[in-house]
Chain A
Amino acid sequence: MIGWAENPALASRGPVGGTGRPDDALRDYAPGPLGGDLYCDARPNVAAKWSLVAERLLRLSQGAHGNIQEQVSREIQELGLTFRLIGDEDERAWPLSPMPLLIGTEEWNDVAQGLIQRVDLLERILGDVYGPQKLVAEGNLPAAIVAGSTHFAPKMMGLTPPGGHYIHVYAADLVRGPDGEWRVLADRTRLATGIGYALENRLAMSRSTGALLSEINTRRHAGFYGDLRRGIAADCQRDDPRIALLTPGHFNQSYPEQAHLARYLGLPLVEGRDLTVSDDRLFVRTIAGPKRIDAIWSWIDTQHIDPMAFDSRSHIGIPDVFQAWSRGGLAVANWPGAGVIEARAFSAFIPRLATKLLGASLKLPNVATWWCGQENEASIVRRRFDELVISSAFGGHVEGLPGGRTRVGAQFSAEEKERLLAAMHLRPIDYCGQEIVNLSTTPVLIDEGFVPRPFTLRAFVARDGDGNWQVMPGGFARLSSSGDLRTSLMGSGDLSADVCVVDDVPIQQESLLGAGVTPAIRRSGGILSSQAADNLYWFSRYAERAEMTVRVIRSLLGSPIDADGGAGRDPATISRLVEILVQWGAIEAENADLSLARVCSVALGKGKLPGGVAMLVTRLRDIGRGLRDRMSTDFWRVANQPVPGFDPDHTESLLSASNHLLERLSTLSGLTAENMVRSPSWRFSDIGRRLERALNICRIARQFATNDSQVDDLSALLDLCDSQIVYRTRYLTGPMRAPVLDLVVLDPHNPRSLIFQLVQIEHHLALLPPLVEDGVPERPLRETKAILAELQSLEAADVTTKVLQNAETRLLALSDALSLRYFLQFDKPDRSSQGSLLG
């Protein structure tokens, strides 16, 4: 199957394609002569839809909105669709080609029937491998195939999953051969990578092409995802189960996909450290105490899911979750160990096992595979070496195939071939040969024309609520840039495309919840894990800290109201502002004597100091990444931007960057205030902001409202607290100590005052779910009330440095009390780590 890109015959394109109609956008489309082509092979009714889509996309390209590729990219960005290649630091934009693949229902139904037959077979094989093991004992499956599979989990032997369902989600990589026959290249029962991207591709396509997909009667995906969810729910013990999506964490290659899925399906996105096993049941740590989890859709490999049962070095797993699924009523999709049948060597036995277990041959055949652990097969591979693809039988590095990468036999030099054959003599069990299939091509819009590209298609199958298999109509296609499409997801330079299964008659509308079923009305949704609450709290604290730091910088650069602001100010005031930047870790003490512009550019810019704005923004994005399932796309787009560029020597440029940042941070707080449902999530987000603001007020008021404060000092304080205008409307005099302190510390009506922050925190804490329903206020609330009561008893003249100092200390204690009560108390990656002891 690999041969397309290397095939010289394809350089000259035969005059095969096109319908010949002069107005047809695909008129000049010319696929290669070797493989089939999805468009050229299509029946007339489907070919007409191809032409319609091609024409419409071209027309969209010529419109006012830039070409269609740019429009699709814009949608991708709007949706926040990203992925990572292994080794990537940052996420990349998802490469979606605008031209979908169209498959008629007739062709697709055969594929779907084949997939269902195949997943049924895989279920039976798994049931035997982890059960009676008759296939091995009776010689239908070599023991070495099972034992050699990287994802075989012998500890799972003898355990039966709820409902007997090893597989809930199955993905298959399909290839289409020269005569239009579909075959299975790889089975995926471990992780259904791509299932979220298929959804996102469809969303991006619908948004950039309007009603086009409906016009060609594209079958919808929504029903499929609803079925998947109901299928998992059906295997749970409780009627209204809590299903969580278990992620390895936001450094995982497909984390963005997992976050999208969780958000779309309404599943809490959890990491191992959010979860705990107690009395053989699984719980998520939430702000309202531990809550039972009935099922997990796991995106963690079995080897890493439980450090006690499997690899003790795993830091992403849940200790003893094995106990929960083996005897505590936890459903797991897919059942741990289901990945065993993914090994390439396994597929050599699938046709034989179909005959044995189903009494029928496969409707959807494999790409022919020979496992060299058998003498006959090994000699076939040796004899036909040059016409086969040679691969590692169980994945992973083997001698002669660096990194376990598959290679066409003909590409080996004589010396390489000799080495490989020698290695194969010692361990033939590690090698497979597979036939080469010439891949069908599909039209891809590149620049202004359509060119053929070879593709593979990842199809998805899920169990529905009745335990029956449902096939996603379509899937996602990968279009190769290099010719090798055997990698797990996307290679650098590859494109993805939506796959549309098109009907002759219009399709009925479906929603995620399924046709005709009205769910019970709810006004509170889901749970808030301690981890998520922690992230929300710190996200807001960093946002607020960044905002205040930028305010200090802007105040140095030029006061927004005061004509004498900025560099014209009293040098003592300026040095106090610079001192704040030093104290907050935004600049180093030895840089305090630099020019003002330099000081500001260090504080804003590249500095590695923890309090520098660039650093704060980086932390903001890092934490935000872990909150992706909870953030709206708008929010994430604003949050996920670096510090704007500026010229470090020009005050104007610095000022404009500062203003830009302030606007952006205000947008974030505005979106939080206006768009977030008043749930505990919002409360934690707001508590974080209020607590940070309260701390900052204490700090700057101490700095600027001392007994010897000058007018400029007090004016700077008003600046930083954004209270200049209020002050001027209330008082005719210039800034004086008592009225200024009253406004920024004690005035309960000023949203920038210290007391205002505390009143808000008190309000939030009172409304958070309690651990115990005894009506007694919990410690964070009691502490807040105590700080508040003391401040409320004061008048402006009483607000001394000591009072402010005291308030600051107590606020810090309050933050600790909050994290002790609501957040995870251990497992903070930067505080302590989960140790593993070997020996």
Chain B
Amino acid sequence: MIFRVQHVTDIRYAALVRLARFNVRLKPAAWSGQRLFECRLIVTPPSGPIATEEGPYVVNVSRLLLAEPISALRIESRFSVDVTPPPHPRADICPSLARIRQAAWTSRDISKFGPTPYLFNSRIVEIDAAIGDWARPFLADGDSVLEAGRALMHAIYTQFRYDSDATKTETPPGEAFRKRRGVCQDFAHIMIVALRTHGIPAAYVSGYLRTMPPPGKERLIGCDAMHAWVNIWCGEQLGWIGFDPTNDLIVQGDHIFIAMGRDYADVAPVDGVFHGNEGQSLRVSVDVLPVVAEVAAGSFGQAGGRSRNTSPAR
């Protein structure tokens, strides 16, 4: 199915900021089952020419440099993408956790698509014995990685509460874990900590969900902003499989992949440095519409836009 995505980020600063440099990670990285076309990044006030290059993980990084002082910044990302739902993962060729571990540790693939970069501590995700102990019942050595991933995902979905006031962007996974609350980012991080603590490669994926559900289905949680889920490495043959603990489902045709990294920090949609006061507010709106539905719904951009206002930035 073809989706059209529009993601607008409005940042306002308490005072003028100078020499702002940003990394924007909104252009979808190449990923199997996705075909990208018509991709644009519009920045106001205009930055110079925007160079986009591949980052050290599965991510496209666009560079903005705003030489003149600014008090507000609008980053608008628009693209269309054709998503082919991945085939249902075959349980019969799915290795056990014990096999996955061994394969990962002895892997000869150090590329960003291989398992090893996603085995160790990263800026946000740290091996955590408490989370590891909690996850132990779901991660028995003999279980197939698919079963184990489902069980762990389901445990997070049932034992944790979606609560956007409970955590902030910088809340460490351990704290969200103790509160048993959080948003997609926290759930993804907790699941990654659990898996890595058990020696299983797990990665953080940023992306989008379709805004309006297909007829007869419920709206998914997290569709009004960027979404996050977990990729588990399921061996050379199956590769990476997506698990969405916020919605308790294996990633299928409703998820649009943007980037994959070790944790949120590798794929943060916008970060950077500037000189000036740190006070800022942020407003984000995301629309993800199937192109066929767009015709029915009328003009693009008005159908399902949701905004939220958070300060500081989320």
- Flag whether A308 is at the interface (Cβ < 8 A): yes
Complex Cα–Cα for A834 and B277 (A)? 8
Inter-chain contact A428/B271, CB cutoff 8 Å: no
Shortest CB-to-CB span from B70 to chain A, Å, is 13
Name 18 A/B residue pairs within 8 A (Cβ), A-sorted.
A139-B108, A143-B114, A147-B117, A148-B116, A153-B56, A155-B55, A307-B272, A308-B23, A308-B63, A311-B123, A313-B123, A426-B132, A836-B273, A837-B270, A838-B268, A839-B271, A839-B313, A839-B314
Any B CB within 8 A of the CB of A509:
no
State whether A835 touches B276 (Cβ < 8 A): yes
Any chain A CB within 8 A of the CB of B41?
no
Is A707 among interface residues, defined by CB-CB distance under 8 A? no
- Considering the complex, give the chain B residue whose CB is closest to the CB of A826: B275
Contact B119 A832 (CB under 8 A): no
- Identify which of A143, A373, A394 gathers the most chain B CB atoms within 10 Å of its CB: A143
Chain B neighbourhood of A832, CB < 8 A: 275-277
Please provide the chain B residues from 259 to 285 with a CB less than 8 Å away from any CB of chain A in the complex. 265, 268-278, 280, 282
Which among B109, B169, B274, B275 is the interface contact of A839 at CB below 8 angstroms? Answer: B169
* B151 interface residue (CB < 8 Å to A): no
Say if the beta carbon of B134 comes within 8 Å of chain A: no
- The reply to whether the CB of B105 lies closer than 8 angstroms to some CB of chain A is yes
Q: Are A308 and B120 in contact (CB under 8 A)?
A: no
CB contact under 8 A between A426 and B199, given known A394-B120, A835-B274: yes
Chain B residues whose CB sits within 8 angstroms of the CB of A521 once the complex forms: none
Query: A836 with B271: in contact, given A308-B21, A319-B21 (CB under 8 Å)?
Result: yes
Select one of B120, B123, B282, B314 contacting A147, CB under 8 A. Answer: B120
**Contact: B108 with A399, CB < 8 Å?**
no
Structural contact, A144 and B273, CB atoms closer than 8 A: no
> What chain A residues lie within 8 Å of B180 (beta carbons)?
none
**A732 interface contact, C-beta 8 A:** no
**A-contact bits for B98-134, CB 8 A (1 contact / 0 none):** 0000001111111010101101110100010100100
How many angstroms from the CA of A427 to the CA of B102 in the assembled complex?
Answer: 10
A137 at the interface (CB under 8 A from B): yes
Cβ of B23 and Cβ of A399 under 8 Å apart? no
Contacts of A307 in B (CB 8 A): 272-273
With A308-B272, A373-B105, A838-B271 known to touch, is A833 a contact of B278 (CB < 8 Å)? yes
Whether B199 pairs with A838 at a CB distance below 8 angstroms is no
A827–B56 CA distance with the chains assembled, in angstroms: 29
- Write out, one digit per residue, whether chain A residues 810-839 have a CB within 8 A of any chain B CB (1) or not (0): 000000000000000011000011111111
Per-position 1/0 for A248-280, Cβ under 8 A of B: 000000000000000000000000000000000
When the two chains form their complex, are residues A320 and B108 in contact, meaning their CB atoms are under 8 A apart? no
Residues of B within 8 A of A (CB): 11, 17-19, 21-23, 55-57, 63, 104-110, 112, 114, 116-117, 119-121, 123, 127, 129, 132, 169-170, 197-199, 265, 268-278, 280, 282, 313-314
Q: B105–A142 contact, CB under 8 A? A: yes
Q: 1/0 per position for A111-153, CB-CB distance to B under 8 A?
A: 0000000000000000000000100111100111011100001
B185's closest neighbor in chain A, by CB? A839
Q: Knowing A312-B23, A396-B121, A398-B127 touch, does A143 contact B273 (C-beta < 8 A)?
A: no
Interface residue ranges of A33-68 to B (CB < 8 Å): none
A449 within 8 A of B: no
Q: Are B127 and A137 in contact (CB under 8 A)?
A: no
A-B pairs with the 7 shortest C-beta distances?
A147-B116, A835-B278, A826-B275, A143-B110, A154-B56, A143-B116, A839-B313
B116 contact set on A, CB distance < 8 A:
143-144, 146-148
- Chain A CB within 10 Å — which of B18, B56, B269, B277 has the most? B56
Q: In the complex, given contacts A427-B197, A837-B280, what are 7 additional A-B residue pairs having Cβ atoms less than 8 angstroms apart?
A: A144-B119, A157-B56, A308-B273, A399-B129, A427-B199, A838-B169, A839-B268
Closest A residue to B123 using CB positions: A311
When the two chains form their complex, are residues A429 and B275 in contact, meaning their CB atoms are under 8 A apart?
Answer: no
A146-B110 Cα distance, complex, nearest whole Å = 8
- Tell me the number of A-to-B contacts counted with CB atoms below 8 Å: 127
Q: Is the CB of B169 within 8 A of A142?
A: no
Annotate A309-333 by CB proximity to B: 1 below 8 A, 0 otherwise: 0011100000110000000000000
**CB proximity of B173 to chain A, nearest CB, Å:** 15
List residues of chain B with CB within 8 A of the CB of A833: 278
Interface of A is mostly: loop
C-alpha gap A138/B27 in the complex (Å): 34
| Measured CA separation A154–B63 after assembly (Å) | 19
CA distance A138 to B21 in the complex (A): 40
Query: Is B21 a contact of A136 with CB atoms below 8 Å?
Result: no
| A837 with B272: CB separation less than 8 A | yes
Q: Give the distance in Å from the alpha carbon of A832 to the alpha carbon of B23 in the complex.
A: 22
- Min CB–CB distance A574 → chain B (angstroms): 45
A510–B114 alpha-carbon span in the complex (Å) = 53
Contact A826-B105, Cβ < 8 Å, known A312-B265, A834-B274, A835-B277: no
A143 touches B276 (CB 8 A): no
Question: Which residues from chain B contact A146 at a C-beta distance below 8 Å?
Answer: 110, 116
Interface residues of A in 276-323 (CB under 8 A from B): 307-308, 311-313, 319-320
Q: Which residue, of B110, B269, B274, has the highest number of chain A Cβ atoms within 10 A?
A: B110
Tell me the bound Cα distance from A802 to B282 in angstroms: 50
In angstroms, Cα B277 to Cα A142, docked, is 46
Query: What A residues does B270 contact at CB under 8 A?
Result: 837, 839
Q: Could you give, for residues 418-432 of chain A, a 1 whenever the CB lies within 8 Å of some chain B CB and a 0 otherwise?
A: 000001001111100
In the complex, A679 Cα to B22 Cα: how many Å? 39
A147, B269: Cβ atoms closer than 8 Å = no
Q: Provided the pairs A143-B107, A143-B110, A312-B265 are in contact, do residues A835 and B17 lie with their beta carbons within 8 angstroms?
A: yes
Query: Which of chain A's residues 489-528 have a Cβ closer than 8 Å to chain B?
Result: none
Query: Nearest chain A CB to B94's CB is how many angstroms away?
Result: 20
* B48 CB to nearest chain A CB (Å): 12
Which B residue's beta carbon lies closest to that of A137?
A: B108
A313 to B122, CA, bound (A): 14
CB distance from A763 to the nearest CB of B (A): 34
Q: How far is the CA of A312 from the CA of B63 in the complex (A)?
A: 13
CB B239 to nearest CB in A, in angstroms, measures: 16
Contacts of B104 in A (CB 8 A): 144
With contacts A142-B106, A426-B132, A427-B199 known, is A147 near B275, CB below 8 A? no
Cα distance A124–B232 in the bound complex, in angstroms: 34
Q: Name the residue in A133, A146, A312 with the highest tally of chain B Cβ atoms < 10 Å from its Cβ.
A: A312
Given A133, A430, A826, A837, which contacts B271 in the complex, CB threshold below 8 Å? A837
Q: Nearest CB to that of B280 among chain A residues?
A: A837
Residue in chain B with minimal CB distance to A276? B19
Chain B residues within 8 Å of A155, by CB: 55-56
Q: Is the CB–CB distance between B107 and A837 below 8 Å? A: no
Structural contact, B11 and A320, CB atoms closer than 8 A:
no
With A308-B23, A399-B129 in contact, do A144 and B105 touch (Cβ < 8 Å)?
Answer: yes
Assembly CA distance A136 to B106 (angstroms): 10
